[in-house]
Amino acid sequence: MKTATHTAICRIAGPFVLLILLVSSCGTPPRPTTIGEQTSGRTTPATPSPTGRREEPEATATVTATSPSAEEIRLLERTSQAVCTGNSPESLNPAGAILVDGSSFSLTCVYAAGHATRIRIERYEDPETALSAFQSSLGGRTVEDFHGHPSTAWERAFPGPGSEGRTRTFQWQAGRWIVQVTSSDDTAYPISRDPREVSDIIYAEMIGMGFVEGD
């Protein structure tokens, strides 16, 4: 009787005991690691980038355009045809050399060693600013009229020991531009162009291209 009762109890309790044993053998399931928690000594970023790499802020470059326009460069190209070959068909650079530096541009014509004419044109924001800059550059020199625009001129000895040459400069302001023409000769014989004559050529081209109004 005892054996039959014991057997019946084992049959009823057996499945429950087996279930308890299985659960205890598995242990406590690991808690899932959330983003941002420490894992193996490394922290996972809370908002990873799509590429999996740390995103750095992009640097924005600042671009400032101050170069002369194509029309202003074309003005010197047209001027060079009349100025650079005007005195000598055997000029060292018949087409001249044009350089651009910010808001200014220049044309240099070399007729022979030690003899050259350089044109430099500076562009300003407006005519008032250009006139103010012209007046500030006078340094006590006399102001003359040039086709209804202010101008000034000066000469200096050509630099160098024993030189008999001269450097002649003619400068004027028209519209938003200041034009400076400098002719240099390292000998007493002037081969370079007269700065006033070159200025007349430039002024005529500026009128033709609509930079300034005529007289």
The yes-or-no verdict on residue 185 having pLDDT over 60 is yes
Give residue for tokens 């050529």. 201
φ, ψ of residue 5 to 5 degrees: the values are: -65, -45
How many C-beta atoms surround the C-beta of residue 167 within 10 A? Answer: 19
The average pLDDT across 148-169 equals: 90
Cα torsion angle, 89, 92, 98, 101, sign: negative
What is the residue type of 150?
A: P
Report percent pLDDT > 90 for the chain: 42
Among 86-90, 121-125, 198-202, the range scoring the smallest mean pLDDT is: 86-90
Cα 135–130–185 angle (5° rounding)?
Answer: 70
pLDDT attached to residue 159: 82
The yes-or-no verdict on residue 177 having pLDDT over 50 is yes
What is the rounded CA–CA span in Å between residue 53 and residue 72? 49
Q: pTM above 0.75?
A: no
Most confident of 67-71, 88-92, 127-131: 127-131
pLDDT attached to residue 95: 61
The yes-or-no verdict on residue 11 having pLDDT over 80 is no
Radius of gyration of the chain from its Cα atoms, rounded to whole angstroms:
43
In order of their start, the domains of the chain are: 70-208 (3.40.1000)
β 104-112/42-43 pair status: unpaired
DSSP the chain: -HHHHHHHHHHHHHHHHHHHHHHHHH-PPPPPPPTTSEETTEEPPSS--TTSSPPPPPPPPP----SPPHHHHHHHHHHHHHHTTSS-TT-SSTT-EEEEETTEEEEEEEEETTEEEEEEEEE-SSHHHHHHHHHHT-TTPPPEEETTEEEEEEEEEPSSTT---EEEEEEEEETTEEEEEEEEESSSS--SPPHHHHHHHHHHHHHHTTSS---
Per-residue pLDDT reduced to its tens digit, 194-209: 999 999 999 999 999 9
The average pLDDT across 179-204 equals: 95
The average pLDDT across 6-32 equals: 47
Is residue 209 a contact partner of residue 71, using CB atoms and an 8 Å limit? yes
Strands (DSSP E) found in 28-114: 38-39, 42-43, 97-101, 104-112
